[in-house]
Structure 1
Amino acid sequence: MARLILYSTLVFGLLHGCGSNLLTVHRLDIQQGNALEEERVEQLRRGMTPAQVRFLLGEPLLQDPFHGGERWDYVYYLKRGDGQTQRRRVTLQFQDGRVEAIRGLEEG
Protein backbone atom coordinates (compact mmCIF):
# COMPACT_ATOMS: atom_id res chain seq x y z
CA MET A 1 0.00 0.00 0.00
CA ALA A 2 2.87 2.36 0.82
CA ARG A 3 4.37 1.69 -2.62
CA LEU A 4 1.06 2.51 -4.31
CA ILE A 5 0.88 5.83 -2.50
CA LEU A 6 4.52 6.55 -3.35
CA TYR A 7 4.06 5.69 -7.04
CA SER A 8 0.80 7.64 -7.23
CA THR A 9 2.47 10.68 -5.70
CA LEU A 10 5.41 10.35 -8.07
CA VAL A 11 3.18 10.03 -11.16
CA PHE A 12 1.00 12.92 -10.01
CA GLY A 13 4.07 15.08 -9.46
CA LEU A 14 5.48 14.27 -12.89
CA LEU A 15 2.18 14.95 -14.63
CA HIS A 16 1.73 18.17 -12.72
CA GLY A 17 5.24 19.26 -13.71
CA CYS A 18 4.49 18.61 -17.38
CA GLY A 19 1.31 20.64 -17.19
CA SER A 20 3.03 23.68 -15.72
CA ASN A 21 5.69 25.78 -17.39
CA LEU A 22 8.46 24.13 -15.41
CA LEU A 23 9.16 21.48 -18.01
CA THR A 24 8.52 23.25 -21.31
CA VAL A 25 10.40 22.61 -24.51
CA HIS A 26 12.96 25.28 -25.35
CA ARG A 27 12.15 26.85 -28.70
CA LEU A 28 14.83 28.65 -30.65
CA ASP A 29 14.44 32.10 -32.14
CA ILE A 30 14.09 31.97 -35.93
CA GLN A 31 15.68 34.92 -37.69
CA GLN A 32 15.59 35.43 -41.45
CA GLY A 33 16.75 38.19 -43.76
CA ASN A 34 18.79 41.29 -43.05
CA ALA A 35 19.00 42.38 -39.42
CA LEU A 36 17.70 45.94 -39.76
CA GLU A 37 19.09 47.85 -36.82
CA GLU A 38 17.19 51.05 -36.06
CA GLU A 39 20.27 53.28 -35.84
CA ARG A 40 21.54 52.09 -39.25
CA VAL A 41 18.18 52.50 -40.99
CA GLU A 42 17.94 56.04 -39.60
CA GLN A 43 21.26 56.89 -41.29
CA LEU A 44 19.82 56.26 -44.77
CA ARG A 45 19.53 59.42 -46.85
CA ARG A 46 18.41 60.34 -50.33
CA GLY A 47 21.38 60.73 -52.66
CA MET A 48 23.41 57.86 -51.17
CA THR A 49 25.24 55.54 -53.55
CA PRO A 50 24.67 51.76 -53.62
CA ALA A 51 28.09 51.27 -52.01
CA GLN A 52 27.12 53.51 -49.08
CA VAL A 53 23.85 51.63 -48.62
CA ARG A 54 25.66 48.27 -48.71
CA PHE A 55 28.06 49.56 -46.05
CA LEU A 56 25.14 50.44 -43.75
CA LEU A 57 22.74 47.55 -44.34
CA GLY A 58 24.67 44.88 -46.22
CA GLU A 59 23.59 43.20 -49.43
CA PRO A 60 19.84 43.50 -50.09
CA LEU A 61 17.72 40.39 -49.75
CA LEU A 62 15.79 41.20 -52.94
CA GLN A 63 16.79 43.15 -56.03
CA ASP A 64 14.35 43.76 -58.85
CA PRO A 65 16.05 42.18 -61.91
CA PHE A 66 13.54 43.65 -64.36
CA HIS A 67 14.38 47.29 -63.67
CA GLY A 68 18.17 47.19 -63.62
CA GLY A 69 18.50 46.87 -59.85
CA GLU A 70 16.81 50.20 -59.20
CA ARG A 71 14.75 48.78 -56.33
CA TRP A 72 16.28 47.09 -53.32
CA ASP A 73 14.24 45.37 -50.62
CA TYR A 74 15.63 44.64 -47.18
CA VAL A 75 13.39 42.22 -45.31
CA TYR A 76 13.76 41.02 -41.72
CA TYR A 77 11.67 38.42 -39.90
CA LEU A 78 12.12 37.24 -36.31
CA LYS A 79 9.97 34.64 -34.60
CA ARG A 80 10.89 34.29 -30.96
CA GLY A 81 10.65 31.02 -29.12
CA ASP A 82 7.74 32.40 -27.10
CA GLY A 83 5.71 32.94 -30.29
CA GLN A 84 6.12 36.71 -30.71
CA THR A 85 7.02 37.82 -34.22
CA GLN A 86 8.66 40.92 -35.61
CA ARG A 87 8.72 41.93 -39.28
CA ARG A 88 10.55 44.87 -40.79
CA ARG A 89 10.96 45.92 -44.38
CA VAL A 90 12.87 48.77 -45.98
CA THR A 91 12.53 49.45 -49.71
CA LEU A 92 15.00 51.70 -51.51
CA GLN A 93 14.35 53.12 -54.94
CA PHE A 94 17.40 54.24 -56.95
CA GLN A 95 17.55 56.66 -59.84
CA ASP A 96 20.76 57.43 -61.72
CA GLY A 97 22.81 55.47 -59.18
CA ARG A 98 21.52 57.36 -56.13
CA VAL A 99 18.83 56.67 -53.54
CA GLU A 100 15.68 58.46 -54.67
CA ALA A 101 13.11 57.13 -52.19
CA ILE A 102 13.16 55.27 -48.87
CA ARG A 103 10.09 53.41 -47.67
CA GLY A 104 9.97 51.49 -44.41
CA LEU A 105 7.40 49.26 -42.87
CA GLU A 106 7.40 47.73 -39.41
CA GLU A 107 4.87 45.21 -38.18
CA GLY A 108 4.35 43.56 -34.81
Structure 2
Amino acid sequence: MRKLLSSALLIVAVSGCTAVTDFVKPYRIDVRQGNYITQDMVSQLKPGMSREQVRFVLGTPLVSDIFHADRWDYVYRFQPGKGASQERRLTVIFEDGRLARLDGDVRPADAAPQPAP
Protein backbone atom coordinates (compact mmCIF):
# COMPACT_ATOMS: atom_id res chain seq x y z
CA MET A 1 0.00 0.00 0.00
CA ARG A 2 2.82 2.33 0.86
CA LYS A 3 4.60 1.64 -2.47
CA LEU A 4 1.39 2.30 -4.35
CA LEU A 5 0.87 5.61 -2.56
CA SER A 6 4.45 6.75 -3.10
CA SER A 7 4.24 5.75 -6.79
CA ALA A 8 1.05 7.75 -7.19
CA LEU A 9 2.65 10.78 -5.51
CA LEU A 10 5.69 10.46 -7.74
CA ILE A 11 3.52 10.42 -10.88
CA VAL A 12 1.60 13.49 -9.70
CA ALA A 13 4.84 15.32 -8.89
CA VAL A 14 6.42 14.54 -12.26
CA SER A 15 3.32 15.55 -14.20
CA GLY A 16 3.22 18.77 -12.20
CA CYS A 17 6.83 19.51 -13.17
CA THR A 18 5.98 19.57 -16.86
CA ALA A 19 3.35 22.23 -16.20
CA VAL A 20 5.95 24.25 -14.31
CA THR A 21 8.55 23.89 -17.05
CA ASP A 22 5.99 25.02 -19.63
CA PHE A 23 5.45 28.15 -17.56
CA VAL A 24 9.06 28.84 -16.57
CA LYS A 25 11.41 28.82 -19.54
CA PRO A 26 15.04 29.83 -19.65
CA TYR A 27 15.97 33.25 -20.96
CA ARG A 28 17.20 33.17 -24.54
CA ILE A 29 19.10 36.07 -26.03
CA ASP A 30 18.43 37.66 -29.39
CA VAL A 31 21.06 36.61 -31.92
CA ARG A 32 21.96 38.98 -34.76
CA GLN A 33 24.36 37.83 -37.47
CA GLY A 34 25.64 39.48 -40.62
CA ASN A 35 25.25 42.93 -42.13
CA TYR A 36 22.18 44.89 -41.03
CA ILE A 37 21.06 46.79 -44.13
CA THR A 38 18.32 49.41 -43.83
CA GLN A 39 16.06 50.82 -46.51
CA ASP A 40 17.79 54.20 -46.15
CA MET A 41 21.18 52.66 -46.84
CA VAL A 42 19.95 50.98 -50.02
CA SER A 43 18.26 54.21 -51.14
CA GLN A 44 21.66 55.95 -51.06
CA LEU A 45 23.03 53.57 -53.71
CA LYS A 46 23.04 54.86 -57.28
CA PRO A 47 24.05 53.06 -60.48
CA GLY A 48 27.64 53.84 -61.41
CA MET A 49 28.97 54.13 -57.85
CA SER A 50 32.47 52.74 -57.27
CA ARG A 51 33.22 49.78 -55.00
CA GLU A 52 34.65 52.11 -52.35
CA GLN A 53 31.49 54.24 -52.34
CA VAL A 54 29.29 51.15 -51.98
CA ARG A 55 31.50 49.85 -49.17
CA PHE A 56 31.23 53.24 -47.43
CA VAL A 57 27.41 53.11 -47.55
CA LEU A 58 26.81 49.41 -46.81
CA GLY A 59 29.99 48.31 -45.03
CA THR A 60 32.18 45.34 -45.85
CA PRO A 61 30.17 42.51 -47.44
CA LEU A 62 29.65 39.33 -45.47
CA VAL A 63 30.34 37.17 -48.51
CA SER A 64 32.91 38.09 -51.13
CA ASP A 65 33.43 35.21 -53.56
CA ILE A 66 36.77 34.95 -55.36
CA PHE A 67 35.08 33.17 -58.28
CA HIS A 68 32.55 36.00 -58.68
CA ALA A 69 34.59 39.11 -57.96
CA ASP A 70 31.85 41.39 -59.30
CA ARG A 71 29.27 40.15 -56.78
CA TRP A 72 28.94 41.09 -53.10
CA ASP A 73 26.40 39.42 -50.83
CA TYR A 74 25.07 41.06 -47.70
CA VAL A 75 23.19 38.59 -45.48
CA TYR A 76 21.48 39.37 -42.19
CA ARG A 77 19.79 36.91 -39.83
CA PHE A 78 17.91 37.78 -36.65
CA GLN A 79 16.88 35.01 -34.28
CA PRO A 80 14.87 36.43 -31.37
CA GLY A 81 14.81 34.57 -28.08
CA LYS A 82 11.11 33.97 -28.64
CA GLY A 83 9.47 33.88 -32.03
CA ALA A 84 10.35 33.22 -35.63
CA SER A 85 13.68 34.11 -37.20
CA GLN A 86 14.04 36.77 -39.89
CA GLU A 87 16.48 36.74 -42.77
CA ARG A 88 17.35 39.47 -45.28
CA ARG A 89 19.61 39.29 -48.33
CA LEU A 90 21.04 41.90 -50.65
CA THR A 91 23.27 41.14 -53.63
CA VAL A 92 25.28 43.94 -55.22
CA ILE A 93 26.46 43.36 -58.81
CA PHE A 94 29.31 45.37 -60.32
CA GLU A 95 30.26 45.72 -63.98
CA ASP A 96 33.65 47.25 -64.83
CA GLY A 97 34.13 48.27 -61.19
CA ARG A 98 30.86 50.24 -61.05
CA LEU A 99 27.53 49.41 -59.43
CA ALA A 100 25.28 47.84 -62.05
CA ARG A 101 22.29 46.44 -60.15
CA LEU A 102 20.90 45.23 -56.84
CA ASP A 103 19.05 42.04 -56.11
CA GLY A 104 17.47 40.65 -52.95
CA ASP A 105 14.91 41.35 -50.25
CA VAL A 106 15.87 44.96 -49.60
CA ARG A 107 14.98 47.43 -52.36
CA PRO A 108 15.52 51.17 -52.70
CA ALA A 109 12.46 53.24 -51.81
CA ASP A 110 12.04 54.54 -55.37
CA ALA A 111 12.18 50.98 -56.77
CA ALA A 112 9.46 49.69 -54.45
CA PRO A 113 6.45 48.27 -56.32
CA GLN A 114 3.70 50.83 -56.75
CA PRO A 115 0.08 49.87 -56.02
CA ALA A 116 -2.22 49.80 -59.04
CA PRO A 117 -4.69 52.73 -59.18
1:96 maps onto 2:96 in alignment: yes
* Over 6 Å off, 4+ runs: none
Q: Percent identity?
A: 42
The Cα RMSD (Å) is: 2.1
1:19 alignment counterpart: 22
The number of equivalent residue pairs is 92
What do the CA deviations read for 1:14-49 (whole angstroms, capped 9, x no partner)? 8555432xx321111111111112211222221111
Residue pair 1:46, 1:102 contacting (<8 A) in 2 also: no
1 or 2, which has the higher strand percentage? 1
What is the identity, as a one-letter code, of the residue corresponding to 1:70? Answer: D
Give 3-state SS (helix, strand or coil) of 2:103's partner. Answer: strand
CA–CA separation in structure 1 for the residues paired with 2:36 and 2:49: 20
Gaps of 5+ in 1: 1-10
Q: Matches of residues 1-108 of structure 1 in structure 2 within 5 Å?
A: 15=17, 17-20=20-23, 23-67=24-68, 69-105=69-105
Q: Give the TM-score taking structure 1 as reference length.
A: 0.73
CA–CA separation in structure 2 for the residues paired with 1:47 and 1:89: 21
Gaps of 5+ in 2: 1-12, 107-117
